[in-house]
């Protein structure tokens, strides 16, 4: 079982001006795979708050999914927040998410999705659009259990 934390990064959701749709969509995705969503949180587009909440969840969750803040506007700072606290970046996740998304949606080239290691947790930054977040996670989902096992230092059944 993979304990999952989900963080929605959005000023408008944080202020109650907009309903969180990305977090619930990711929760449903995770639960269909038998992953246990233990925490859901909403933070504003503030680099320090994104980093603090991610580090807090990394103490109890082996997978942390962030939705939002991966675009190119001034307030989109999720990748910067995660890079500031990560020990490693895993560029293949972002590359695959952008490539597969680009095939369907040319503006996906602007996305700054990424994955990184924070503590012993896999952190994946996804688009804020609920459909885009779930689609991007679907593109990389097969690598998630193996990455989590490796980060936890557990023997893996996924080795060749």
Q: Is residue 144 a part of any domain in this protein?
A: no
Q: Is residue 17 a part of any domain in this protein?
A: no
The closest alpha carbon to 113, from 101, 121, 105, belongs to 101
pLDDT in tens, the chain (160 residues): 899 999 999 999 999 999 999 999 999 999 999 999 999 999 999 999 999 999 999 999 999 999 999 999 999 999 999 999 999 999 999 999 999 999 999 999 999 999 999 999 999 999 999 999 999 999 999 999 999 999 999 866 555 5
Q: Is residue 135 a part of any domain in this protein?
A: no
Domain that holds residue 108: 1-6+32-37+47-61+94-123+149-160
**Cα(81)–Cα(105) distance, integer angstroms:** 26
Q: Is residue 56 a part of any domain in this protein?
A: yes
Beta-bridged to residue 9, according to DSSP, are 43
Burial tier of 109 (Cβ tally within 10 Å: 0-12, 13-18, 19+): exposed
What local confidence, expressed as pLDDT, does residue 124 receive?
A: 98
- Residue 88: strand, helix, or coil: strand
What local confidence, expressed as pLDDT, does residue 65 receive?
A: 98
Q: Is residue 54 a part of any domain in this protein?
A: yes
What local confidence, expressed as pLDDT, does residue 154 receive?
A: 81
This model's pTM is above 0.75: yes
What local confidence, expressed as pLDDT, does residue 156 receive?
A: 60
Beta-bridged to residue 36, according to DSSP, are 3
Q: Is residue 139 a part of any domain in this protein?
A: no
Helix (H) or strand (E) holding 54: helix 47-57
Handedness of CA 118, 4, 92, 158 (dihedral sign): positive
Q: Is residue 133 a part of any domain in this protein?
A: no
What local confidence, expressed as pLDDT, does residue 46 receive?
A: 98
What local confidence, expressed as pLDDT, does residue 113 receive?
A: 97
- Residue 114: strand, helix, or coil: strand
**Cα(50)–Cα(9) distance, integer angstroms:** 7
Q: Is residue 24 a part of any domain in this protein?
A: no
Total domains present in the chain: 1
């Amino acid at each position: 079982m993979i304990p999952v934390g989900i963080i929605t990064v959005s000023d408008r959701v944080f202020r109650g001006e907009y309903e969180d749709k990305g977090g619930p969509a990711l929760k449903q995705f995770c639960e269909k795979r038998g992953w246990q969503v233990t925490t859901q949180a909403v933070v504003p587009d503030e680099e320090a708050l994104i980093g603090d909440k991610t580090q807090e969840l990394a103490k109890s969750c082996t997978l942390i999914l962030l939705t939002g803040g991966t675009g190119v506007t001034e307030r989109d700072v999720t990748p910067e927040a995660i890079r500031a606290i990560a020990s490693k970046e895993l560029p293949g996740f972002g590359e695959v998410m952008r490539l597969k998304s680009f095939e369907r949606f040319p503006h996906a080239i602007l996305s700054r999705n990424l994955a990184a290691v924070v503590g012993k947790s896999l952190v994946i930054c996804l688009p804020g659009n609920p459909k885009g977040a779930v689609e991007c996670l679907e593109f990389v989902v097969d690598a998630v259990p193996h990455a989590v096992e490796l980060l936890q230092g557990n023997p893996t059944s996924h080795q060749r």
